[in-house]
Amino acid sequence: MEVLILLGILFLALIIVIPLLERSKLRVSSETASKISRWIWPLIMIMLVLQLIMMMFRG
């Protein structure tokens, strides 16, 4: 039952957030997007290693 409540809340959040983002005037240039995307994979790898270490010490 908790999973359904969580999914419902996430769905409602998407219904609210997506129209707000479409109406906003905030735009990201392709240069800024490329600078940000350069950091995504290294950060994901660091996060995965940290999660693995946490799982090893949890037992």
Average pLDDT score over residue span 7-28: 90
39, two tokens: 């950091």
52, two tokens: 């693995």
Q: How far apart are CA 45 and CA 12, in angstroms?
A: 31
Q: How far apart are CA 29 and CA 20, in angstroms?
A: 19
Better-predicted residue by pLDDT, 26 or 12: 12
Question: What is the number of domains present in the chain?
Answer: 1
Q: How far apart are CA 46 and CA 54, in angstroms?
A: 12
51, two tokens: 């999660």
Range in 14-18, 21-25, 38-42 with the lowest mean pLDDT:
21-25
Domain span at 32: 2-58
pTM for the structure as a whole: 0.50
